[in-house]
Chain A
């Protein structure tokens, strides 16, 4: 008997999901045709075309904003917080009930492993709706008043399609705003399924409007004169464009942008757990995470040992079919993103960093990139400065805590950081000195609706989640 323990394929069934051949826009509680040029969304693991999706042009966006405005003035802003909460609770429960369906659809459209969509994305989505449902009738205790802003225009990315939707819609609705939301063009399907859930929950028409499309549709939302609030999660480049577009208007803006987080491992760290944290920090969701721990800063005295353990651990990562329940690393979301990851990795090679990647057979179809790390990286390398947004880890070393702080903060970004040490006092002093919105201690990439999330510097402004997340959707105490 050989002792090779092969895991037989354990695919989650696709039968729970009914993907329609084409989808319209969700405006005023109904699905309607779009007037732009319809586009296709594909399964990034196979390049199979999943559905044709309508594109919203300026007129469609205008319809959606009008519907949102009507719903805001006639229904949603007049409704008591307790009544709004009932709808949010209902939505949260339906998300839980249809959790498997949502998880499978998310994995098919996004490429992320079912393990993550099932155990992280969808449960956290439901938790966000439950959490903000609880706030809806307690806003006078929020510290930010209880007056909503009006119509929120929201544009979200493709890395956590439904989770980002929840981060945007749940607090907006709890505070009494109505929304026009655009999901990313490569991952629109769960947002459209969410639209069905709004119907199922009898949410008043126009409170939630989902318009699909790419950059032009996003621009139309952001620059629409009747939008009171713009919320965006995505690249720093687009974030800057949005900031320019709304400058001089009285729109409120929150931006959650890129990151290049330092994951700092001291020599007294719990090493085996630190290795897990490094792996989870950069290979979770194929590294398509704005707060990913993409720069490993490891103390020189343990660098060799950490690298050896890290490589051994990376070799056990299972890459492949996102719907297989044993898959750890899924597909890159799009050909375009794959191209960017490849380009930046080649820059890493050219700049003299040493590439090491997991030896594995990549599927011939679809978009794949093996878990990769670069050693011999210095602060001057582009792979230490630019967000790769893929499963690529840059490894740097440091000698003292001050050097670690200096290197960690030496970036235009400041979204998150991680500290690994058994010394409690060091955790606190590092957290005080790190210029990052989130600092994880002896863990990484943990999300909870009660905890605010957001960045310093070019990682954006405003906070999402927790009590602080309400501020973005309320007028404030004095108004």
Chain B
């Protein structure tokens, strides 16, 4: 996938919109702290309410195929090998070998040293390679190392970079440091798309999630992403709800769309459909597209495939009928 023209063109314009905001530490703080607060109870009630939507038959089939197309099939383990990454990449291209009508996933997500291997397998299949960079998952490294990490992944062929923000800087109120870090990483990305990971499990409050969302969007992130998957809780419905509201409001203000990626802990088709309902009703149908919404997941894909097979055949096959990678 090449970066969509709208995002590159309008990043420049939105940077102009927020020039005054990011002029100084204090102006940025004033802006972020001036965003409307989030009422925790109300936010969680809204997310729980949307989760009661009943998605059946044709709408379920639509949602399952869409969810498969939105998966960033992920392996981020110390024990990852080239063989494992090749297997995962093959699965991303043909998730269900028994059914050629099954769509491919959006991307595979790996550590930077695995990018070349993934790219080799994926070729021009259209499935992207996403690499986690910037001293993932903790983000605790010097800036030049984070940038080198990013450039290394891009040079190896990564189409997308998933960076982590410096949560320590964010929580101690050094917002401008975080902003500049994102902007610099974005520059190092070149043509690659940038996803900004907040690690919402460490930011803890919904107010922080909203502030981090605006910070990352103003700094030019193409996607905002909940979690690394290494910290609990990872993605939750209410956190994703706040981020979907943020991208919706950002577009109202700037005309520019930013994507959202919940990652970690989304394991079942039922969960995935709850997220899609939320995308549909909070951000709007424009976001129902792999360009604008992704699932960072590994086990989710097989559950989607099992449900997909059940929808088409009427039978529920055991897990042995789906590949384990």
Which residues in A have some Cβ–Cβ distance to B below 8 Å? 1, 3-8, 10, 115, 119, 268-273, 276-277, 316, 325-326, 422, 442-443
Question: Is B42 in contact with A7, judged by CB distance below 8 angstroms?
Answer: no
Q: How far is the CA of A272 from the CA of B40 in the complex (A)?
A: 11
How far is the CB of A430 from the nearest CB of chain B, in Å? Answer: 16
Known: A271-B36, A443-B42. A5 touches B276 (CB 8 A): yes
Q: Please, what's the 1-or-0 string for B40-73, where 1 marks a CB less than 8 Å from any CB in chain A?
A: 0111011000001111111110110110010000
Q: How far is the CA of A401 from the CA of B21 in the complex (A)?
A: 30
* Contacting residues, chain A, for B46 (C-beta < 8 A): 272-273, 276
Q: Which residue of A lies closest to B279 (CB)?
A: A5
* Contacting residues, chain A, for B42 (C-beta < 8 A): 270, 272-273, 276-277, 442-443
Looking at the complex, which one of A4, A268, A326 makes contact with B285 (CB distance below 8 Å)?
Answer: A4
Q: How far is the CA of A8 from the CA of B46 in the complex (A)?
A: 22
Q: How far is the CA of A359 from the CA of B167 in the complex (A)?
A: 45
Q: How far is the CA of A270 from the CA of B285 in the complex (A)?
A: 24
Question: Is A422 in contact with B45, judged by CB distance below 8 angstroms?
Answer: no
Q: Could you say which of B42, B66, B280, B281 has the most chain A C-beta atoms within 10 Å of its C-beta?
A: B42
Q: Which residue of A lies closest to B293 (CB)?
A: A3
Question: Is B59 in contact with A7, judged by CB distance below 8 angstroms?
Answer: yes
Q: How far is the CA of A325 from the CA of B49 in the complex (A)?
A: 12
**Taking the complex as formed, is B38 at the interface, i.e. its CB lies under 8 A from any CB of chain A?**
yes
How far is the CB of A446 from the nearest CB of chain B, in Å? Answer: 9
* Contacting residues, chain A, for B277 (C-beta < 8 A): 5
Q: How far is the CA of A10 from the CA of B58 in the complex (A)?
A: 11
How far is the CB of A338 from the nearest CB of chain B, in Å? Answer: 27
Question: Is A269 in contact with B36, judged by CB distance below 8 angstroms?
Answer: yes
Q: How far is the CA of A8 from the CA of B53 in the complex (A)?
A: 11
Question: Is B285 in contact with A5, judged by CB distance below 8 angstroms?
Answer: yes
Looking at the complex, which one of B41, B45, B52, B57 makes contact with A8 (CB distance below 8 Å)?
Answer: B57
How far is the CB of A427 from the nearest CB of chain B, in Å? Answer: 12
Q: Which residue of A lies closest to B241 (CB)?
A: A272
Q: How far is the CA of A270 from the CA of B242 in the complex (A)?
A: 12
Question: Is B52 in contact with A115, judged by CB distance below 8 angstroms?
Answer: yes
Which residues in B have some Cβ–Cβ distance to A below 8 Å? 36-39, 41-43, 45-46, 52-60, 62-63, 65-66, 69, 245, 276-277, 280-281, 285-286, 288-289
How far is the CB of A445 from the nearest CB of chain B, in Å? Answer: 11
* Contacting residues, chain B, for A10 (C-beta < 8 A): 54-56
How far is the CB of B283 from the nearest CB of chain A, in Å? Answer: 11
Q: How far is the CA of A115 from the CA of B52 in the complex (A)?
A: 8
Question: Is A119 in contact with B39, judged by CB distance below 8 angstroms?
Answer: no
Q: How far is the CA of A4 from the CA of B289 in the complex (A)?
A: 10
How far is the CB of B281 from the nearest CB of chain A, in Å? Answer: 5
Question: Is A442 in contact with B55, judged by CB distance below 8 angstroms?
Answer: no
How far is the CB of A469 from the nearest CB of chain B, in Å? Answer: 25
Question: Is A442 in contact with B41, judged by CB distance below 8 angstroms?
Answer: yes
Looking at the complex, which one of A1, A3, A8, A268 makes contact with B59 (CB distance below 8 Å)?
Answer: A8
Q: How far is the CA of A273 from the CA of B53 in the complex (A)?
A: 19
Of all A-B residue pairs in the complex, the 7 with the closest CB atoms, nearest first, are: A273-B42, A10-B54, A3-B288, A325-B54, A270-B39, A273-B39, A271-B36
Question: Is A273 in contact with B56, judged by CB distance below 8 angstroms?
Answer: no
| A–B Cβ pairs within 8 angstroms, 23 of them | A1-B65, A3-B285, A3-B288, A3-B289, A4-B285, A5-B62, A5-B288, A8-B57, A8-B58, A115-B52, A119-B52, A268-B36, A270-B37, A270-B38, A270-B39, A270-B43, A271-B36, A272-B42, A276-B42, A277-B42, A325-B52, A442-B39, A443-B41
How far is the CB of B277 from the nearest CB of chain A, in Å? Answer: 8
Question: Is A7 in contact with B55, judged by CB distance below 8 angstroms?
Answer: yes
* Contacting residues, chain A, for B60 (C-beta < 8 A): 8
* Contacting residues, chain B, for A326 (C-beta < 8 A): 53-54
Q: How far is the CA of A276 from the CA of B241 in the complex (A)?
A: 13
Q: How far is the CA of A115 from the CA of B49 in the complex (A)?
A: 9
Question: Is A422 in contact with B37, judged by CB distance below 8 angstroms?
Answer: yes
Question: Is A272 in contact with B38, judged by CB distance below 8 angstroms?
Answer: yes
Q: Which residue of A lies closest to B59 (CB)?
A: A8
Q: How far is the CA of A276 from the CA of B45 in the complex (A)?
A: 10
Q: Could you say which of B39, B43, B57, B60 has the most chain A C-beta atoms within 10 Å of its C-beta?
A: B39
Question: Is A6 in contact with B41, judged by CB distance below 8 angstroms?
Answer: no
Question: Is A270 in contact with B36, judged by CB distance below 8 angstroms?
Answer: yes
Question: Is B56 in contact with A8, judged by CB distance below 8 angstroms?
Answer: yes
Q: How far is the CA of A475 from the CA of B59 in the complex (A)?
A: 58
How far is the CB of A51 from the nearest CB of chain B, in Å? Answer: 28
Q: How far is the CA of A326 from the CA of B58 in the complex (A)?
A: 15
Q: How far is the CA of A276 from the CA of B36 in the complex (A)?
A: 14
* Contacting residues, chain B, for A6 (C-beta < 8 A): 58-59, 62
Q: How far is the CA of A443 from the CA of B65 in the complex (A)?
A: 37
Question: Is A272 in contact with B36, judged by CB distance below 8 angstroms?
Answer: yes
* Contacting residues, chain B, for A1 (C-beta < 8 A): 65-66, 69
- Given contact pairs A273-B38, A442-B39, enumerate 6 new A-B contacts (beta carbons under 8 Å): A1-B66, A7-B53, A8-B56, A325-B54, A442-B41, A443-B42
Q: Which residue of A lies closest to B41 (CB)?
A: A443
Q: How far is the CA of A1 from the CA of B66 in the complex (A)?
A: 9
How far is the CB of A243 from the nearest CB of chain B, in Å? Answer: 38
Q: How far is the CA of A443 from the CA of B44 in the complex (A)?
A: 12
Q: How far is the CA of A367 from the CA of B39 in the complex (A)?
A: 36
How far is the CB of A346 from the nearest CB of chain B, in Å? Answer: 32
Question: Is A5 in contact with B280, judged by CB distance below 8 angstroms?
Answer: yes
* Contacting residues, chain B, for A325 (C-beta < 8 A): 52-54
How far is the CB of B77 from the nearest CB of chain A, in Å? Answer: 32
* Contacting residues, chain A, for B62 (C-beta < 8 A): 5-6
How far is the CB of A230 from the nearest CB of chain B, in Å? Answer: 37
Q: Which residue of B lies closest to A302 (CB)?
A: B36
Q: How far is the CA of A115 from the CA of B41 in the complex (A)?
A: 20
* Contacting residues, chain A, for B289 (C-beta < 8 A): 3
How far is the CB of B236 from the nearest CB of chain A, in Å? Answer: 16
Q: How far is the CA of A269 from the CA of B69 in the complex (A)?
A: 38
Q: How far is the CA of A326 from the CA of B55 in the complex (A)?
A: 9
* Contacting residues, chain B, for A271 (C-beta < 8 A): 36
Q: How far is the CA of A402 from the CA of B285 in the complex (A)?
A: 42
* Contacting residues, chain A, for B56 (C-beta < 8 A): 8, 10
* Contacting residues, chain B, for A3 (C-beta < 8 A): 66, 285-286, 288-289
How far is the CB of B280 from the nearest CB of chain A, in Å? Answer: 5
* Contacting residues, chain B, for A277 (C-beta < 8 A): 42
* Contacting residues, chain A, for B288 (C-beta < 8 A): 3, 5
Q: How far is the CA of A118 from the CA of B280 in the complex (A)?
A: 24
* Contacting residues, chain A, for B69 (C-beta < 8 A): 1
Looking at the complex, which one of B37, B52, B63, B281 makes contact with A316 (CB distance below 8 Å)?
Answer: B281
